Structure 1
Amino acid sequence: MRTRSDPLRLDRKMRPHAAFADLAEADLAAIGECLEVLASRNAVEDVHALRVATRHLRALAWTFAPALPAGMARRWRQLVGELADAAGPVRDWDVFALETLKPALDRQPGDPVLLAVLDTAAARRAEAHGEMRARLAQCRHWPLPALQRDLVHLRGGVGPHLPAAPALGPFARRRVASTRKRLRQLKRAAHENDTARLHKLRIRGKLLRYTLEALAEVLPARRTAALHAKLVKRQTRLGRVIDAAVARRLLCECLGQAPAPGQPA
């Protein structure tokens, strides 16, 4: 479950937009800290930390979208999506190196083909890292100030009228129920060899998982814990499938071959 050094206190009777403002502010602060670290050093764990922080914020923006003005909800979906995507290519190369190439080299030390692939992967990762840092350097000017301004407006009641929404407790239960329904539909439509659908199922599962973590205080504890455990187990299984598909794509890129159709981008 999500942890904080100074946990936020949510109340079932509070307005959903107020809960969103508090939770999103904490995630924006975490993203700001990640940007500070990434500006001064180049470490695998720092890229991963940014990915996790932006995914949390993306899940919040999606969960609370019905309680936000339509224009604001669209803006958050777009801008947080851009933040989340910025570190994606670097993270893919990191996972490829750590979970595919390193184990292969442990089994076949000094293999010239593997070493050549590792060199190519390192060069591609360095290129992606430079592009990521250039994108993130702009984030302090845009979109972070726009997102922070929206939170000020939400707290002050400035700007477009808020949609009618129940209190946080009923709102959270409805969002979880609707997302579970959609997950079941995606699961029925997904096939073992359809990595695109499996990737979509994994993303939607992450949204629900992070929603449960953020709103655990206002959801039924027993049901939430059981569902969370089920989602973690499914995420682990789907993660292996998607990571293998991405590894195949990156290996093809290193070898100068066209990847098979339907692989995750």
Structure 2
Amino acid sequence: MFHGASMKQDSEAASPPVGESSAQQAFASYAAPLIGQVIELAEAVREDTSPEALHKLRVSLRRLRSLWWAFAPLLDKGENARQRAVFQFLATAAGKTRDWDILIELLAQSDSGAGELLPKLEAARGETLALSRETLSNADVKRLLQEAFASTSAELDSNQEPRIALRKFAARRVSASKRSLETRIKRASRAKRSNYAAFHDVRKAGKKLRYLFEFFGPVLKGSHQRTLERLKRIQERFGHLNDTVSSEALLREHAALLAGADDMDAALLWLGRERKRRMRAAAGLLH
């Protein structure tokens, strides 16, 4: 079994994927450095308690999940779903602390009048961080990711299906992701403002497409600047909406833990108003 560092070195030493190489051959060039990065970030959060460290880890795990989605047509469906579920579990473990960071940042920079609530939120964040670290440590991130890489690489190497050029494969997967995003945009544009799930689906689909452009952009034909600019706008507005929705839900979920804080109602009132404002901004982008 190889290590995350060696995977990263091997990938850096190899030439980047070219459009004429097969998708099966190119997988390792995409996966190895990303897995190495995730392993390093997972080890770093043992010492680095900053919001940025956890954010980077969660983003890298999401990119990893999107990469496995991209190569799903070449892989066994059950095994691919299992690997992606593992990545999701790890991202959720990192994300729980990150959610507290977002709530604290929102209230600290707002005029909600909830300043006295912040020390309690910081304490809750500290407890969640300890749990996140314990979960990631017990999960043995390094071993899980190495096994995922080895298993998927072996499956692609032994696959008897005809080889497909990376350029052609990448174009198909990006097109599939685009169609998924457009479907969700249409659904959200017809949904009621109270249907946040439809808006959240747009955000997830847009994020996945952006990751695919990051992976496959160099081997795709033509310019995709307009699409990327649109994705950036979607990510910004829908990301801001998600921050308020998640923060409001988190505060309500832990109302008992934060009992006795006089400014709890003020915080919820401000978050509710902010959610509606950001929902309107996101809806405006759909049209």
Per the normalisation by structure 2, the TM-score is: 0.77
Corresponding position: 1:135 with 2:135: yes
Partner of 2:230: 230
Partner of 2:57: 50
Aligned residues: 245
8 Å CA contact 1:18–1:154 kept in 2: the answer is: no
Partner of 1:203: 204
Question: Which residue type is aligned with residue 43 of structure 2?
Answer: E
8 Å CA contact 1:205–1:231 kept in 2: the answer is: yes
Q: Provide the rounded CA distance (Å) in 1 between the counterparts of 2:153 and 2:179.
A: 33
Q: Could you say if the C-alpha distance between residues 215 and 135 of structure 1 is closer, same or farther in structure 2, counting changes exceeding 3 Å? A: same
Q: Provide the rounded CA distance (Å) in 1 between the counterparts of 2:63 and 2:120.
A: 32
Partner of 2:102: 95
In the TM superposition, what is the alpha-carbon distance from 1:140 to its structure 2 partner?
Answer: 3.7
In the TM superposition, what is the alpha-carbon distance from 1:71 to its structure 2 partner?
Answer: 3.9
Q: Could you say if the C-alpha distance between residues 65 and 163 of structure 1 is closer, same or farther in structure 2, counting changes exceeding 3 Å? A: farther
Q: Could you say if the C-alpha distance between residues 238 and 163 of structure 1 is closer, same or farther in structure 2, counting changes exceeding 3 Å? A: farther
- Structure 1 SS opposite 2:164: coil
Corresponding position: 1:240 with 2:222: no
Corresponding position: 1:37 with 2:35: no
Partner of 2:187: 189
Partner of 1:173: 171
Q: Could you say if the C-alpha distance between residues 177 and 141 of structure 1 is closer, same or farther in structure 2, counting changes exceeding 3 Å? A: closer
- Structure 1 SS opposite 2:45: helix
8 Å CA contact 2:108–2:115 kept in 1: the answer is: no
- Structure 2 SS opposite 1:170: helix
In the TM superposition, what is the alpha-carbon distance from 1:101 to its structure 2 partner?
Answer: 1.4
Question: Which residue type is aligned with residue 132 of structure 2?
Answer: M
- Structure 1 SS opposite 2:46: helix
- Structure 2's unaligned 5+ residue stretches are 1-10, 257-263, 273-287
Q: Could you say if the C-alpha distance between residues 127 and 166 of structure 1 is closer, same or farther in structure 2, counting changes exceeding 3 Å? A: same
Q: Provide the rounded CA distance (Å) in 2 between the counterparts of 1:229 and 1:48.
A: 23
Corresponding position: 1:62 with 2:69: yes
Q: Could you say if the C-alpha distance between residues 95 and 153 of structure 1 is closer, same or farther in structure 2, counting changes exceeding 3 Å? A: same
Q: Provide the rounded CA distance (Å) in 2 between the counterparts of 1:118 and 1:8.
A: 49
Q: Provide the rounded CA distance (Å) in 1 between the counterparts of 2:170 and 2:253.
A: 43
In the TM superposition, what is the alpha-carbon distance from 1:79 to its structure 2 partner?
Answer: 1.5
Question: Which residue type is aligned with residue 9 of structure 1?
Answer: P
- Structure 1 SS opposite 2:19: coil
Partner of 2:259: none
Deviates more, 1:132-141 or 1:21-30: 132-141
Partner of 2:280: none
In the TM superposition, what is the alpha-carbon distance from 1:213 to its structure 2 partner?
Answer: 0.8
In the TM superposition, what is the alpha-carbon distance from 1:70 to its structure 2 partner?
Answer: 3.0
- Structure 1's unaligned 5+ residue stretches are 261-265
Corresponding position: 1:214 with 2:215: yes
Question: What are the Cα deviations for residues 79-100 of structure 1, in whole angstroms up to 9, with x where unaligned?
Answer: 11222222111111111111x1
Percentage of pairs with the same residue = 28
In the TM superposition, what is the alpha-carbon distance from 1:19 to its structure 2 partner?
Answer: 1.8
Superposition CA RMSD, Å: 2.6
8 Å CA contact 2:203–2:235 kept in 1: the answer is: yes
Q: Provide the rounded CA distance (Å) in 2 between the counterparts of 1:68 and 1:54.
A: 19
Deviates more, 1:135-144 or 1:182-191: 135-144
In the TM superposition, what is the alpha-carbon distance from 1:139 to its structure 2 partner?
Answer: 2.3
